[in-house]
Amino acid sequence: MHIHILGICGTFMGGIAAIAKSMGHKVTGSDANVYPPMSTQLASLGIELTQGFDPAQLQPEPDIVIVGNAMSRGNPCVEYILDRNLNYTSGPQWLSEHVLKQRWVIAASGTHGKTSTSSMIAWILEYAGLKPGFLIGGIPENFGLSARLGDSPFFVIEADEYDSAFFDKRSKFVHYHPRTLVINNLEFDHADIFDDLAAIQRQFHHLMRILPSDGLALVPFDDANVQTVLDQGCWSDIQQIGLEWQCKNASADGSEFDVYHDGKLCARLSWQLIGQHNVNNALMAIAAARHAGVQPQLAIEALGQFVNAKRRMETRGVVKDITVYDDFAHHPTAIKTTLAGLRNKVGEQRIFAVLEPRSATMKMGVHQDSLAQSWQLADEVLLFQPDNLSWSLNELIAQSDVSTQVYDDIENIIEDLLSKVKPQDHILIMSNGGFNGIHEKLLEKLTKHDF
């Protein structure tokens, strides 16, 4: 079968491409921006890529076109597909029909922690010899790839609440039919497609309605927004992180803690990750793996060798005892928890927080009132004002108790950092995009800079 994918260079669609190729299909695709590393990864798989959306790429006609959710009416290929009645589907629908049927799907959902938690679950199952399939919205370092078909009944997926396609506005995750469901947490996000939190909760309720009666929902015990979803109806078993599963005797930075299940000590986890949010993610992953048959002691042993996905508090380099981190934080809660973990790790050493508010929700100013409070554990904050931001970051300076400055040029950010940092400082760069390559540029200039 010839499968053509529109919007192939996103992590999700690129993962689908890799899985389809491994199933023996001929796979081609296109995107508006075809560039490494995804273009290199796809080319290495023998997948032919086209830059842009000239309808000529659909001649001869493929057997099916998988349409990414970034595609909309007016796109030349979309109009060509509709005018000629070509066979098309969404990525989640194709995955459901051709990969997930008859699989034990373990889905990690929620506003925060999906990538980390799904990576943890996949690694635990791999460590236990279960050879799971997976599709994750990042690249787990333990695997070095974002997706694979797998060689067992188990399939781990990052279950995103974003919509499926221009013709299917349901959340992606309703297509996955999980047997094991993780809901890490729930807050308002994706203001470009959801009017309010209730609209997101409605999608999660739809997901709960298709969880089988012998399935398992893993939820936090103290999240009122998740509880609202459960109150709308739940027909499956529920286990609560913080009640049935607990962390005790944790180190200040969360790098060590005891795992308890039903009041009994399972084992102590010592690992590379930090932060209370990752402690919660670990408990979710251990509980999900237990539902799939992996004993908690083995899961804890596996996490001792876990390396988080790229861009999740990833250390990009240490130059002259100055550490530069890259983090995907795109929401005030994520910024706050990431900084809390780093602060507990480094103590009184200085933290410079560099933030690009790039997500659609941030661009719309939805989190404007809470954003300044999210970075108060930093010693100094440097904000990048992108051209397409509809409001001024300068409005936040008065709300901040720590030194905060706004820049419209990343070169100025770098030069300012060079004038201020010294050995034992930490530079935390937060964005859900490439941030104009600021990490590499900063590290290069740090190497040449005299302190």
Domain shared by 259 and 286, yes or no: yes
Neighbours of 38 (CB within 10 A): 22
In a domain, 95, yes or no: no
Residue that terminates a domain, selected from 277, 303, 329 = 303
Helix, strand or coil, per DSSP, at residue 71? coil
In this structure, which amino acid lies at residue 260? Y
Domain shared by 353 and 259, yes or no: no
pLDDT at 389: 77
Span 32-75, pLDDT tens digits: 987 666 777 888 899 999 999 999 999 999 999 999 999 999 99
**Residues facing residue 6 across a β-bridge:** 30, 67
Domain shared by 120 and 242, yes or no: yes
Q: Which residue is associated with the tokens 């000529």?
A: 56
Span 288-307, pLDDT tens digits: 999 999 999 999 999 999 98
Indicate whether 89 pLDDT > 90: yes
Indicate whether 361 pLDDT > 70: no
Residue that terminates a domain, selected from 303, 335, 359 = 303
**Do the Cβ atoms of 349 and 336 come closer than 8 Å?**
no
Rounded Cα–Cα distance for residues 85 and 79 (Å): 10
DSSP for 391-418, written as a single string: S-GGGGGGG-SSEEEEES-HHHHHHHHH
* CATH number for the domain that contains residue 348: 3.90.190.20
Domain shared by 52 and 183, yes or no: no
pLDDT at 200: 94
> Structurally, how many domains does the chain consist of?
3
- Domain holding 41, by residue range, is 2-90
Based on the number of CB atoms within 10 Å of its own CB, is 421 exposed (0-12), middle (13-18) or buried (19 or more)? buried
pLDDT at 364: 61
Q: In sequence order, what are the residues at sequence separation of 6 or more whose Cβ sits closer than 8 angstroms to the Cβ of residue 59? A: none
CA-derived radius of gyration, the chain = 22
CA distances from 222 to 172, 210, 225, 254 (A): 26, 24, 9, 19
Q: Return mean pLDDT, the chain.
A: 92
Q: Which residue is associated with the tokens 């290199």?
A: 40
In this structure, which amino acid lies at residue 429? I
Q: Is the CA virtual torsion 216, 221, 225, 230 positive or negative?
A: positive
* CATH number for the domain that contains residue 188: 3.40.1190.10
Q: In sequence order, what are the residues at sequence separation of 6 or more whose Cβ sits closer than 8 angstroms to the Cβ of residue 202? A: none
Span 377-389, pLDDT tens digits: 999 999 998 877 7
Residue that terminates a domain, selected from 237, 269, 303 = 303
Q: Is the CA virtual torsion 83, 168, 197, 109 positive or negative?
A: negative
Indicate whether 446 pLDDT > 70: yes
Going edge to edge, which strands form the sheet with 426-430?
314-319, 322-327, 426-430, 351-355, 380-384, 403-407
pLDDT bracket for residue 421 (50, 70, 90):
very high
In a domain, 97, yes or no: no
